[in-house]
Amino acid sequence: MYDRHESISKPGSSWHVDIEPAPTPPSPGTRSPSPTLTDQCKPVHRRFASHLQSNISSGSVTYPSIYMCFLTGLTAAPSFAACFVWCGFQTGNAAQLGLALARTFTPDHQRTFGFQKMDQQALVSLLSFLVGSSLGQIGNKVGGKKRYWLVLATFIQMVLMMIAALIGHFSGESGLADGRGDPSWVTPMGMTTLAFLSATMGLQGAVGLRLGSPMATTVPLTSTWIDIFNDPFLFALRAVRTRDIRCAGALSLIFGAFVSRAMLGVIGSSGTIGVVIGFRAILLGWWFFLPNDESNVEQSQPEPKAQLPK
DSSP assignment, residue 60?
G
CA distances from 218 to 71, 201, 270 (A): 9, 10, 24
DSSP assignment, residue 307?
P
Among candidates 193, 224, 209, 204, which has minimal Cα distance to 283?
Answer: 204
Cα 43 to Cα 133: distance, rounded to the nearest angstrom: 37
Neighbouring residues of 1: CB distance < 8 A, sequence distance ≥ 6: none
CA distances from 264 to 71, 259, 267 (A): 15, 9, 6
What's the pLDDT at 110? 67
Reported as a single tens digit per residue, the pLDDT across 117-162 is 888 999 999 999 999 999 999 999 999 899 999 999 999 999 999 9
What's the pLDDT at 107? 76
97 CB burial (10 A radius; 0-12, 13-18, 19+): middle
What's the pLDDT at 1? 46
What's the pLDDT at 148? 94
Among candidates 291, 292, 221, 243, which has minimal Cα distance to 71?
Answer: 221
**pTM score of the predicted model:** 0.80
- 292 - beta bridge partners? 56
**Nearest 5°: phi and psi at 55?**
-90, 145
What's the pLDDT at 116? 83
Contact between 219 and 228 under an 8 Å Cβ cutoff? The reply is no
pLDDT tens for the 310 residues of the chain, in order: 445 444 444 454 444 545 555 556 555 555 555 555 555 667 887 888 888 899 999 889 999 999 999 999 999 999 999 999 999 889 989 998 888 888 878 777 667 777 788 889 999 999 999 999 999 999 999 998 999 999 999 999 999 999 999 999 999 898 998 888 889 999 999 999 999 999 999 999 999 998 988 888 889 888 899 999 999 999 999 999 999 999 999 999 999 999 999 999 999 999 999 999 999 999 999 999 999 987 755 444 555 555 555 4
What's the pLDDT at 234? 92
Contact between 119 and 100 under an 8 Å Cβ cutoff? The reply is yes
Topology classification of domain 57-292: Growth Hormone; Chain: A; (1.20.1250)
What's the pLDDT at 306? 52
Domain locations along the chain: 57-292
Reported as a single tens digit per residue, the pLDDT across 256-286 is 999 999 999 999 999 999 999 999 999 999 9
Neighbouring residues of 148: CB distance < 8 A, sequence distance ≥ 6: 52, 53, 142
